[in-house]
Amino acid sequence: MLTGIICGLLTAFLQPVAYLLSRQFFVRGGRAMELTIYSQLIMGVISAVLLLCCWPILSFDSALASRTAWSVGTILIAQVCYFLAIRVVEASRLSSMLGLKIIFLVLLNMLLFGEQLRLLHWLAVGMCAIAGLIMNQSGLKISLKALAAIICCCFFLAASDIADYRLVIAIPVENPVYRGILATGFCYAGLGLISLPGLFFLRFDWQKCRSAIPYSCVWMAAMVVFYLSIGLLGTVFTSIIQSSRGLISVILGALVAWLGYAGMESRASKAIWLSRLAAALLIMAAVAIFTSNPL
């Protein structure tokens, strides 16, 4: 269990770092399509190496192919929407707002699995909505285009959570660590493959490709420990630990802004940072309610 907790905490720390690195890519003149394609190709290569290392226990059938396809499709759309939003929204705000995916996760569970909400669940939904409003007001106003990208990202992240869990439990390996590694490899190797044709739609730039390496490596590391945490602890405990991501992101954002990296995190007043902190804590509380009172 200790290993799973450590993996969950590493995920909560590494994802906000990856958000900051992706923001840095755009500050340097990169485009969303470029980071999408370059990062998926880099992570595809890493995934291929992981799968080769697991070759003796590798097993793949039509059922796994179908679940991998759902994971690949949902996370790809979520990442494209995320890259569109991170170009104009500070990483600390966006990271916390992505916690609003819990609302879509609830709706999808209601629609797909017939789950019913209790009073506490509706309270958590309301807390998420209030946190979203606070985040929207804690800095420059978010444009309708960026807000649409965030909402779309939250929806597909929720769908991806469901798809990822179904993928992990379908892998015919008893060891949860190997299940986590194989799930990561299947998903991101698939993303790398379907990103290959994207090279025909952009002019390949080695410098920008190299600039995508830091984000790709940190995000890939976050995904490996995320799947390991799911395999060791299950989705409920992992969600509780991951809810600290928004809080960590706000702290990292404040540190980056204080150090003077205005392009990555704009300077803001103490009141604005406190409002972002309050919103992050609200979302953490909402996630805790959902995970401690499962549907």
Pick 169 or 95 by higher pLDDT. 169
Quick: pLDDT tens for 63-92: 889 999 999 999 999 988 988 888 877 776
| Cα 223 to Cα 180: distance, rounded to the nearest angstrom | 9
Quick: pLDDT tens for 128-139: 778 767 766 666
Q: Tell me if 263 is assigned to some domain.
A: no
Pick 93 or 220 by higher pLDDT. 220
H or E stretch covering 87:
none
Q: Tell me if 121 is assigned to some domain.
A: no
Q: Tell me if 276 is assigned to some domain.
A: no
Q: Tell me if 280 is assigned to some domain.
A: no
Domain total of the chain: 1
Cα–Cα distances in Å, from 118 out to 22, 85, 100, 125, 292?
A: 38, 33, 18, 11, 13
Stated pTM of the model: 0.81
Query: What average pLDDT does range 43-71 have in this prediction?
Result: 87
Which of 100-104, 137-141, 245-249, 271-275 is least confident?
137-141
- Look at residues 156, 181, 157, 179 and name the one whose alpha carbon lies nearest to residue 168: 179
Q: Tell me if 43 is assigned to some domain.
A: yes
Instruction: Pick the most confident of 26-35, 83-92, 117-126, 152-161.
Output: 152-161
Q: Tell me if 26 is assigned to some domain.
A: yes
**Which residue range is the domain that position 196 belongs to?**
2-115+142-242
Percent of the chain with pLDDT over 90: 22
Quick: pLDDT tens for 258-269: 666 655 556 666
| Cα 79 to Cα 40: distance, rounded to the nearest angstrom | 10
Pick 265 or 41 by higher pLDDT. 41
Q: Tell me if 89 is assigned to some domain.
A: yes
Task: Compute the mean pLDDT over every residue in the chain, rounded to the nearest whole number.
Answer: 81
Cα–Cα distances in Å, from 24 out to 18, 247, 263?
A: 10, 20, 8
Q: Tell me if 205 is assigned to some domain.
A: yes
Instruction: Pick the most confident of 214-218, 268-272, 275-279.
Output: 214-218
pLDDT of amino acid 156: 94
pLDDT of amino acid 264: 57
pLDDT of amino acid 234: 64
Percent of the chain with pLDDT over 70: 85
Structure confidence at residue 93 as a pLDDT band (50, 70, 90): confident
Instruction: Pick the most confident of 57-61, 147-151, 254-258.
Output: 147-151
How would you class 44 by CB atoms within 10 Å of its CB: exposed for 0-12, middle for 13-18, buried for 19 or more? buried
Instruction: Pick the most confident of 37-41, 158-162, 202-206.
Output: 37-41
pLDDT of amino acid 139: 63
Contact yes or no for 178/230 (Cβ under 8 A): no
